[in-house]
Amino acid sequence: MKKILMTMVAALAAVSMNAQNNMYVGGSLGFATTTYDGDTKGTVFSILPEFGVQLSDKWGVGVTVGYNWIKNNGTPDLTSDSFKFAPYVRFTPVKLGSVNVFVDGVVGFTTGNVEAAVGNVNPVVVDNKFTNWGIGIQPGIAYNINEKFSLVAKFGNLLAFTSNKPKDGKATNTFSVLDLNGNNLSFGFYYNF
């Protein structure tokens, strides 16, 4: 797996050296909190920086690297943190003035840890590492404010396969088609140079 990731990083670096003035950096930040009857029960924080290179008018490549943290005060108390690495190929079939409609072909890898306090009287802390990988097609839209700045929204998956494997357990595999819902909506900001 390390060889594949290093090969992708080297390929992206080589492509970016040849594509001057067609690169972008940006990403998204996320924060959410959930309350039940006024008590905070859940908090989620994520940061997903992104770097990409536009190879032509329609094609580009990029990578998202990020961190996600979840805290749930409930039964059981749960804390999770994870690191994500997701290279992608972007195809932009529609350009209408300042608006671009695109689809990203993404191969993602996530690794992390979940800590849960199990039991009511003398809770036992269970610590479990996990890995998750997936492949999918994610639609999105970009609004180009000017030559340098763009607002980006990505939502759901047109087609996706994911596999989540806890360290001491069996893998859970999920295949989805047209999973276009608000739970997978993200907004970002790009600086083009």
- Any residues with CB less than 8 A from the CB of 173 and at least 6 apart, and which? 161, 162, 163, 164
- DSSP class of residue 193 equals -
CB 42 within 8 A of CB 74: yes
Residue 172 pairs in a beta bridge with 164
Is 17's pLDDT higher than 60?
A: no
Q: Are 22 and 53 in contact (CB under 8 A)?
A: yes
Indicate whether 177 pLDDT > 90.
no
| In the predicted structure, residue 168 carries a pLDDT above the cut 70 | yes
Model-level pTM?
0.75
Which region among 139-143, 165-169, 177-181, 188-192 has the lowest average model confidence (pLDDT)?
Answer: 177-181
Give the pLDDT confidence of 21-43 residue by residue, as tens digits. 589 999 988 887 777 666 657 88
**φ and ψ at residue 39, rounded to 5 degrees:** -95, 135
Interval 51-84: pLDDT, tens? 999 999 999 999 999 999 988 877 667 888 999 9
Q: Angle at CA 49, nearest 5°, toward 191 and 28?
A: 80
DSSP state of 97: T
Q: Name the more confident of 188 and 73.
A: 188
Domains annotated for the chain, with CATH where assigned, are 2-192 (2.40.160.20)
E strand residue ranges, 55-123 = 59-72, 77-96, 99-118
| Residue 77 burial class via C-beta count within 10 angstroms: exposed 0-12, middle 13-18, buried 19 and up | middle
How does residue 19 score in pLDDT terms, banded at 50, 70 and 90? very low
- Are 156 and 138 in contact by the 8 Å Cβ rule? The answer is yes
